[in-house]
Copies of this chain bind each other. A is one copy, B any other.
């Protein structure tokens, strides 16, 4: 009763007990979910579908995950973590050329999400009904807001950007714009930007909102 028990927690959502081989089953379920989510929305995927895809019966599915939501949450956690990793590194490079700096940072985040279309759309769907998904997303957003706010403040402090809205409020508005614009582009829904225009358009709005001087008018 000593080995391999501690240091788990991110996987609390996974199978009831650690150890043992049936570990491929867990991976098979996740892989099935990821595959099916590229084809159809979360609401059109049942536990039965996930179980069949992984070659097990529906009750057996519940041995590995407590619900369909838990599977998706695991997938979303991964994607968020991946995007976070990119973000970390993309911070410092602003000083020289602000536009290029922001562009680089935003691209990193778009690429992390753009390459996981199914998971991202499922996350949005989940957030409407699942509190845990909302909290997970809220946590990630909060981190981004904090980072972006402090960069904006730094840019103002060094005189590169003029004073303006409270940095946090500006950061929230810009990040929520990014979220929605990218979502609509990925979903291909209605009035949406073409995927290859998203970055150019958003960077332009960011730069004008942060560095543009318009004052009272």
Contacts and interface: CB of A to CB of B under 8 A. Distances in A.
A59 interface: no
Q: Count identical subunits in the complex.
A: 2
Interface residues of A, number: 50
A211 B193 CA distance: 21
Interface in A190-211: 190-193, 197, 200-202, 204-205, 207-209, 211
A11 interface: no
A209 B211 CA distance: 10
Given A98-B217, A214-B207, A214-B212, A41 B129 contact: yes
Contact of A169 (B43, B142, B197, B211): B197
Given A138-B190, A190-B134, A217 B208 contact: no
A164 B99 contact: no
Contact of A214 (B135, B164, B202, B211): B211
A190 B134 CA distance: 8
Interface string A58-99: 000000000000000000000000000000000000000111
Nearest to A184: B176
A179 interface: yes
Contacts of A97: 217
A108 interface: no
Contacts of A204: 164-165, 170, 209
Nearest to A168: B191
A84 to B, nearest CB: 15
A201 B170 contact: yes
Contacts of A202: 173
Interface of A: 41, 43, 97-99, 124-125, 128-129, 134-135, 137-138, 141-142, 145, 164-165, 169-170, 172-177, 179-181, 184, 189-193, 197, 200-202, 204-205, 207-209, 211-214, 216-217
13 contacts: A41-B129, A43-B128, A97-B217, A99-B216, A134-B190, A138-B189, A142-B191, A172-B191, A172-B192, A174-B205, A175-B191, A205-B209, A208-B209
